Every structure is written in structure tokens, then in C-alpha cells.
Amino acid sequence: MSARHLARPAHTTAVAALVAALGVAGILVLMSPKASASEAQPSKTDSGVQPIVRTEVNCITSYAADPANNYTNYAPAIGAPEVVDAIHSGLQPCATFAGGAKISSNKFQVAQYLSPTVYPGQIQMIIQGGPNAAFLVGGSPGTPVPSYTAGPYVARFNPATGAQIWRTSLPMAPGQWIAAPSGAVVKGGWVDVVIGPKIYKLNPNTGKIAASVQQPVLDGDAIDANFDGFAISPDSTGTILLKSQNRSTGCTVQGNQAMSMCIAQYGPQPDTTVVAIDPVTLANITAIKLSQPVAARPTLVANGGNTDMYLAGATRGVRVTWNPNTKTLHEDTSWQPPYLLTGQTVGDAPVPLGKWVIFNNNASPPVKAPGVPVCAFAAKMSNASDVHRICPWGETIPAGETSNAPASFSTDPQKSLIFMQDMLIGGVFAVHLDQTTGRMAIKWSRPDWRTSDYFTASGPSNNRVLSSQYLSSNFPSQVQTGTWTESVLWVNEATGKTVAQSAVNGPTDLAWLVQPAYAGRWYTMSLRGTINIYKPQKCSTKGSRPVSPPSATMCSTNYSTLRQPIASPAPRP
């Protein structure tokens, strides 16, 4: 895929002027250079903070403290885990949309601007440690950028402007396989990032690497391994649990495509290694080799005093149990639900939802079998034979076509909702899961909505918006050249109706998420290496100054003319 980006560059002065016009406070405070390096907790801001930020901070502090919300041992911050929380749900009830305005009775427009810093090698991930602590990982793209060879790094940026504050390179062994990274801001404020087989701990205020430890690889070579999907156990010590992706031994291809491109020439991928890591020293506690290679990220849930890791295996679900008392990992062969139909291939990370684990999948190439579109498969945690499936796109697709969901489904655990997407066929479904029976039923559908990304559900339960990327209709024909266009769409989670939509921009990193931030900001990562910053605004009854560039929804927009949600099944767009 090309790394070209169609959005115009932004000048520092223009960005600063727009930030001032929007009234966005930088709220940036760094730790004094004289402070102890062990005091890694980002400094708190006592003045100059908008009231909405104080509300957000109080909300996420309380939310993260409740173990039921899957935030234990992460920094109590919006966007601290790499994909929202330990179960990758996408739920961020403390993130604010347009100042908390009522979404069912107002119109909205979306201001946007670009970071003045262009980050080389593209940006792969944004994580946050609080309203004054925003970080990114760059230089480690899943699809290599031919012109970039300097390697991965972590940067801290001004959350209001996207301007770089510091940048730290992460040293790697020569020839190391570089794939998409993982990481989080952990309890105490440290920035933990994983590249290849190494995990790094960085001081958030200085960027100094405080520790870096290479983890054991039990099958294949360390140079061909990448530990992805940063996950922290909710146990009392906050044990870090990671699993490896592996490319075939002898392969020199870079990027995530190495996992599939090298098999024909170099043979099967090595089996996955799962490791448990001390959260302070980063030393390995123990490691086990799984029965198969697993590509997608793990998700974690507490189970009594243990922690269960759920993974999407080649044909069946996989569960690994971490026992913090005995310091052991165990692959639970009694829980292996078969989640694929004939004509489907391995899915992305499964998403726990209440008593169930939800798997997705992708279509087999038509040369092997008739393709079967994406389905949702629910397996009960306590009984692997209690399974249910829903296939909103049907069970056949035309010859020569395929379907693909490169990001996991997202959920709203508070409402037992699943959000399904298919990047190539197109369409989004909101599905309700009955926690008692496991039955899944479609709540609403948006056949016009095409996204490769995760979804984010933000705001309080009675005023919640769902957001994701909105790809152009000709995306499938433009994905290989990187020339597609896209916007950001926010809808009413309860109904699927459009709440706000940004202007159309150039391409962003596929299979990630529209990142909620503080003070009503949202981020996406352009293929050009900039941060796109969005700020939805409520339209005042007295009139609002139009934003530039004009967003898809403006104060003059007649919302009745916009694309509307429909009942199932969604027709092909």
C-alpha cells in the first residue's frame, strides 16, 4: 500500500491561530528536571484547565478504579491502553463529545487541523496518560514505508496541537523483524512499548529509556518475533502478559505481511510464545509455547484469582490462564470453540462481552472456497459448547469478491452491544447479545458506512455516540494505491443516526481507531505522518461561525437528508 497522503500540510502559525480560536488549552506541564527520575507520574495541572477537562479527569479516575471496567493497572486516563481497555471494547464513557451537548436534539459541525510536526515512518499508535500527557509510537508501520529506514521511536506531543515535545529512538538488533507495535501508559504514568521481542519502559517526562528487556521466544528465532497486543493482568502486581507473532525462519520481509508472504518459500510460522513479565523490572517471569501460531492481539479478563487470555487460533478459540500465585501460564485445551465456517479464515482479536467471548473472521480467498462474509460468533466462557452465530451479510458472497475486517469488533459492555464492520463489502451493524441465552439480534444497520477501524463508544449511557472512520465508496479499488479518501463519522449509538461528520481527508492508518482525547478532541493518524485533530462543536441557536474546511455536517445541514440507518439485512452499497 502506498504511503501517500492527500491532505494538505498545515503551517505552525495557522494551527496556533485555529487552536486559539477554538479556545483549546494546551494544559501541558512537565516534571521539573530536578525531580527524581523514579517519579514518572506525569505532573498534574492545577490551573488553566477547562471545566470539561476536570470533569473528564474525575470521571476516568472513578471509572478506572472499578475492576469491572477492565482498566486495572493502567493509568487512569482516557486512551491509556492501546485499544481503550483490557478487553478492547471501545467504550470510553468519560470522553466528551461537543461539551456533552444533547446529541438527539442538536446539530453539530466539526473543526479540524493537522499537527505541525510530521512524524517520519508514519504514526502507528497514540496513547495517553492524562490531559497533559499524550504519546505516540512511530516508525514501525505494519506496511513498510520504502523511504523510511530509521526504525521505531516513541514521541510525546502537545495534546492540543500535535507538536512534538520529545522523541526517543528504540534500538533494535540488525535485521530484526519490525511489525506494528503495541503499548500502554501503565499505572504510575510510565510509557511501556513493545517492538519485536523487546519491551521498553520510558520516563514520560524526559523520554529516557528506564528499562528494556528482550523476552524469550520458544519457537523460531527472536529476530523473527514480534510481541503484539499490550495487556496487563488485573492481578495485584499488574503482570504484563504478551504473545508473539512470528514470521517464518529465514524470511527477511518487513511489516505484518511477512506472516503470510513468507510461508510458501520458508515454511510454516513458528508457534506463538506467551510470556508473563514483571511490570517494574520487565524481567521475564515465565513463558509457554502455544499449540499453534496466533496472529491477532490478546484480550484479558479476570477469572477468580486468575486471569484468562483469549486468542483467535487458526480454527478455534484459544484460552491461556495466568495464575499469579503459582506464577504459571497454561493453555486450556478444554476451551476450544470452533468459530469458523467453511469459507472463512482466521479472525482478529476476540472481544469478551459479559459471560461471552465474541470472535470475528475473514473470508477465504475465492480460489480456495466460496467466500463467506464476516460473522459474529459467541462462545460462553464457562462452556465452550454453548455457542451462537449471526451473519448479517449472509453466508455467501459473489465469486471473485471477498470480505475483510482487519480490526476487531468493538462492544459496549454496559449495554451488551456488538459493533460489526466489513471493510470490503461495506456496512456496519449494531447487534445486541442476550447475556442469558447468547442469542444475537440486529439493532440497526448502516449499509453506507465502510470502515477498517475499531469503534469508540463515548459519553454517558443516555447520551452516547459511536465513532469510526468513514471510507469513500471506491475504497476497495484504491486501497492498493493509498489514494482513498475518508472522514470521521459520529452516530447516535442507540439509533445509528448521524450526529456529526468531519470534512473529507486523505487516508489514515487502517485498522486502528478514531482516538478520543481530552477537552472534546479526537485524533486520527494520517499516512503522511501527521496527527489529524478534530473538535466537534454544537451549533448555537444564535448561529455559529462556520468551520474551515467545511465539515460534512454544518449548522445549515438538513439532517433528514443524510444517510439513515435501516433494518437488517443491509443491502450491498
In 10 A of CB 385, how many CB atoms?
Answer: 8
State the pLDDT at residue 74: 98
Per-residue 3-state assignment (H helix, E strand, C coil) for 466-533? EEEEEECCCHHHHCCCCCCCEEEEEEECCCCCEEEECCCECCECCCCCCEECCCCCEEEEECCCCEEE
Concatenate the DSSP letters of all residues of 3-24 into one string: ----SPP--HHHHHHHHHHHT-
Concatenate the DSSP letters of all residues of 407-428 into one string: S--EEETTTTEEEEE-TTT--E
State the pLDDT at residue 398: 74
φ/ψ of residue 48, rounded to 5: 75, 10
Task: Sheet with 209-214: list strands edge to edge.
Answer: 182-185, 191-195, 198-202, 209-214
Q: Among residues 60, 80, 55, which one has the least CA distance to residue 134?
A: 80
Q: Among residues 306, 380, 42, 399, which one has the least CA distance to residue 188?
A: 42
Encode the chain (573 residues) as per-residue pLDDT tens digits: 333 222 222 223 232 232 232 333 333 232 323 333 334 554 443 334 589 999 999 999 999 999 999 999 999 999 999 999 999 999 999 999 999 999 999 999 999 999 999 999 999 999 999 999 999 999 999 999 999 999 999 999 999 999 999 999 999 999 999 999 999 999 999 999 999 999 999 999 999 999 999 999 999 999 999 999 999 999 999 999 999 999 999 999 999 999 999 999 999 999 999 999 999 999 999 999 999 999 999 999 999 999 999 999 999 999 999 999 999 999 999 999 999 999 899 999 999 999 999 999 998 876 656 789 999 999 999 999 999 999 999 988 877 778 999 999 999 999 999 999 999 999 999 999 999 999 999 999 999 999 999 999 999 999 999 999 999 999 999 998 999 999 999 999 999 999 999 999 999 999 999 999 999 999 999 999 999 999 999 998 666 799 999 999 999 999 999 999 998 754 443
CA angle 364, 370, 372 (to 5 degrees): 60
List domains and CATH numbers for the chain.
Answer: 12-561 (2.130.10.10)
State the pLDDT at residue 4: 26
Q: Is the pTM of this model over 0.85?
A: yes
Contact status, residue 374 vs residue 323, Cβ threshold 8 Å: no
Torsion of CA 67, 71, 77, 80, to 10 degrees: 170
State the pLDDT at residue 208: 98
Q: Among residues 509, 450, 552, which one has the least CA distance to residue 145?
A: 509
- In this structure, the chain runs to a length of 573
State the pLDDT at residue 511: 95
Burial class from Cβ neighbours inside 10 Å (0-12, 13-18, 19+) for residue 480 reads exposed
Q: What gap in Å lies between CA 213 and CA 229, rounded to an integer? A: 17
State the pLDDT at residue 3: 31
Contact status, residue 111 vs residue 132, Cβ threshold 8 Å: no
State the pLDDT at residue 408: 97
